[in-house]
Amino acid sequence: MSILSLFKRDGEQSLLRRRNSNYTFKSSSGILHNSVIRQFYIEVKEPHRVWKPNEYISGEAVLVIKKDVTNIALRLVLSSEIKVRACTGATGRRKRAERLYEKSTLLYGEDLAEGTGDGIINGLTKGEHRFPFRIKIPSGRKVFSSIKFERGSIRHFLQCQIESIGSKQAEKPISCCEESFAVIVPVDVSELPSQKVKKVVLQSASMVRKQPRAVGDGSSSSLTRATNQSSTSNSSNGSNKELNLVDKTVTISVNIPHSGFAIGETVPVNVAVQHYKEFCHPAGLIVTLTRICRVNSGSKDEPMETFRKDLCQSISPLYVDAKTLNSNLTVYLKVPIETFSTFTSLHKYFTFQYYIEVVVNLSQKNIVYTESNRAIGVPSESVHSQQGANLEENLSQIQRKFLMMVGNDSSMNEQNNIESNIFYKDMVNVEKLKRQNNVTGMSIETVIGTTRSQNPPQPVELDQTTQIENVLAESPLASNTASPKHAGGDWLNPPYVYEHYPPVPQYTPNKDIRVINDKQEMEYMRLKQLESSPPRDY
């Protein structure tokens, strides 16, 4: 037992010497962190809320200490940081970070330029201490929405640090804690200009080889793009044969109503195909909402990395009528709720852009497969059978639309029908499909925002008001303004008829009628039940 007591006594003495050395040595890993601080954290009042610029975030900094301390200061820092992990080789990755903004304030204590010496400025007693705060989130060019993905992030956080009052105390905090919160910067897409109609003109490769100015002779597809210069030169020739060749073109027009859409909105995409012959395919039109992420490595020798992610997709059959040789389709996409806004402000780190990619399959031999190798575009053996199936499908769609329009919940049913045709997983690999013959399309950039403000109602124009007044002046009912009596069916007259009758007289109370309050009336009724006749002087 004596040997154990000696070991125990030596351990207590070594611990005491180590504590005394911590008290005398004032460094960032000194006394407060190891021996005095029991708990140190930040409590935000609404931790799951998504904040916006110019809003105030409030909470408390909680500090629990084991013993009394002196000359201490608590500093709260509001900051934002961007991080990116860029690929520097086969296996290496280089991390880069930058503080976007930083805003600090003292919750307790002072910020002194010189040391305190032996004097005591302030102190905290043993136990729990709470320091409330309320700080404003800044706004400006360096404030961005919170983003987190595999290769980088934009983070907003609160940092509270304990400092020992003295020179350069902010640079040597004794202990610190952090609490992250989400910020979203509103992006109004209603302010963007309207989208223009995009067109693609295609010609057969055999036609292009016969023309004097060929375009795209080395293309693997039997349909190549034709420029305006080649079509103009071909139309100038007087030969009917060349005119017929020029007429055998395929024109694809894509119309999107807006240049930007808010998160959760439905995106209507109108596609018009003008063909030179009858054509049909069960998966002839594929429209995809794609997000392109570009990560900059920060070095001129290393290329920029590009990542593609398909968010949603819509597939529609394509049928070109033999009489009109036209096909007009409208497919729908929907911006997912978990999507973040377009981000192109910091090109030296990373960017996020969104595109609507329209792919048209102009070959009946191509079979369209999904990522799970599921065939969804198997062409029929006979064109006529496919034509009949498409006609039957079109008729059924018209019937469903008619029933939805007649029903009371037509808007809800139509919205459900639109969303049921949108795929969010097991989509078609568009990049692989575009390598096949007679497959073409285009990509249209769109902006994804957070809100769409409603357009203010337009005021009534002056010419419309003047026109209404002229109609009232010419009306025969307007001249008979002195007659207070109306016909038996005057309730069927338009509302403007009564605008020319004399105004209703104001209410004039009769002072001769005596009005008593409710209590007196109840007392009067009670006395009436008790006596044969109520008192006269009441």
The string of pLDDT tens digits covering residues 394-411 is 545 544 544 444 444 444
Instruction: Tell me how crowded residue 292 is: count the other CB atoms within 10 A of its CB.
Output: 15
pLDDT digits (tens, 9 = 90+) for 87-99: 766 556 778 999 9
Range of lowest pLDDT (52-61, 352-361, 429-438)? 429-438
Per-residue b or e along 482-510, where b marks 16 or more CB atoms closer than 10 Å to that residue's CB: eeeeeeeeeeeeeeeeeeeeeeeeeeeee
Sign of CA dihedral 44, 45, 51, 56: negative
| Integer Rg of the chain from CA | 39
* Res. 2: pLDDT tops 60: no
Per-residue confidence (pLDDT) for residue 27, from 0 to 100: 33
Tokens linked to 383: 């064109």
pLDDT for 313: 96
C-alpha span between 178 and 156 (Å, rounded): 10
Give residue 476's pLDDT.
Answer: 43
Cβ atoms within 10 A of the Cβ of 357, count?
A: 19
pLDDT in tens, 152-182: 999 999 999 998 887 667 677 888 999 999 9
Taking a C-beta distance cutoff of 8 angstroms, is the pair 279, 353 a contact?
A: no
Among 205-219, 288-302, 329-343, 495-509, name the one with the lowest average pLDDT: 205-219
Report pLDDT for 351.
96
Q: What residue type is assigned to position 173 of the chain?
A: P
3-state secondary structure 285-343: EEEEEEEEEEECCCCCCCCCEEEEEEEEEEEEEEEECCCCCEEEEEEEEECCCCCCCCE
Average pLDDT over residues 105-128: 81
Specify the pTM.
0.68
Q: Which of 228-232, 244-248, 369-373, 514-518 has the lowest mean pLDDT?
A: 228-232
CA–CA separation, 341 and 192 (whole Å): 14
* DSSP-derived 3-state class of residue 488: coil
Q: Higher confidence at residue 510 or residue 80?
A: 80
Q: Which pLDDT score, from 0 to 100, does residue 48 have? A: 93
Residue 497: band (very low, low, confident or very high) from pLDDT cuts 50, 70, 90: very low
pLDDT value at residue 115: 57
Which neighbouring-strand residues pair with 261? 448
DSSP assignments along 8-44, one per residue: HHHHHHHHHHHHHHHHH--STTSHIIIIIEEEEEEEE
Domain ranges of the chain: 25-183, 189-449
- 25-183 topology per CATH: Immunoglobulin-like (2.60.40)
